[in-house]
Amino acid sequence: MKPLVLTCATWCFCLLPSWSQAPRPLPALPPKLEPVAETKLLMEGIALPNLEGLNKLLKEKPDQEGWVFARGQALLIAENGNLLMLRPPKSKAAQDVWMTKATQLRDHATLLARSIADKDLEKSRANLVLLAKTCNLCHESFRVEARIQTQFENAK
Ligand code: HEC
């Protein structure tokens, strides 16, 4: 009897791996969004360079490549609004202000991306001014000294 039991056990052992090809069970909790970079890094690495790029690109009427590049820069600033929403301040009151300002950043940068996609230079310049104001309003609310300027503020 003994050898038979052994053989059976050996077979089961060998076959098990091929039976366990079913999809892996999902982890207990769904993956969640977690901020990893400092807010300052998002400002210096995404917000500012793309805004400065737009400020230069919209100085003259861009060529086809320039319009495509500018649209990308505006969309990166818009996406940064989503990233900022992952990094609200601690107090509830401050959180509401933060979320509103981050949403405005996303909306105004998206608006700019649209006018750039339409290759509308005047509208894009006006939208860039609006975007810079959006940066500054959040900075004022959170007592950040940085002030963002464009070269189109006084242009008509
Ligand atoms: C939702 C609020 C919010 C918005 C919108 C926002 N910022 Fe900021 N910004 C901050 C905060 C908070 C800091 C301070 C970060 C720190 O020092 O930890 C900051 C800091 C900065 C700094 C200074 C970084 C340094 O070296 O100390 C720059 C430059 C900057 N932001 C650029 C921008 C630009 C450009 C935009 C718009 C395209 C923008 N920010 C939009 C909240 C915002």
Domains, the chain, with CATH or none: 39-141 (1.20.120)
From the CA of 109, give the closest atom in ligand 1.
38
* pLDDT given for residue 14 in this prediction: 46
Give the contacts of 107 (CB within 8 A, at least 6 positions apart): 78, 81
pLDDT tens string for the chain (156 positions)? 455 555 545 544 544 555 556 777 777 889 999 999 999 999 999 999 999 999 999 999 999 999 999 999 999 999 999 999 999 999 999 999 999 999 999 999 999 999 999 999 999 999 999 999 999 999 999 999 999 999 999 865
* pLDDT given for residue 12 in this prediction: 47
* pLDDT given for residue 26 in this prediction: 73
Q: Ligand 1 pocket check: which of 134, 144, 145 to mutate, most ligand atoms within 8 Å of Cβ?
A: 144
Give the contacts of 48 (CB within 8 A, at least 6 positions apart): 148
Ligand 1, CB cutoff 6 Å, lining residues = 39-40, 43-44, 47-48, 51, 77, 84, 98, 101-102, 105, 131, 134-135, 138-139, 142, 144, 146, 148
> Residue 48: exposed, middle, or buried by beta-carbon count in 10 A (0-12, 13-18, 19+)?
middle
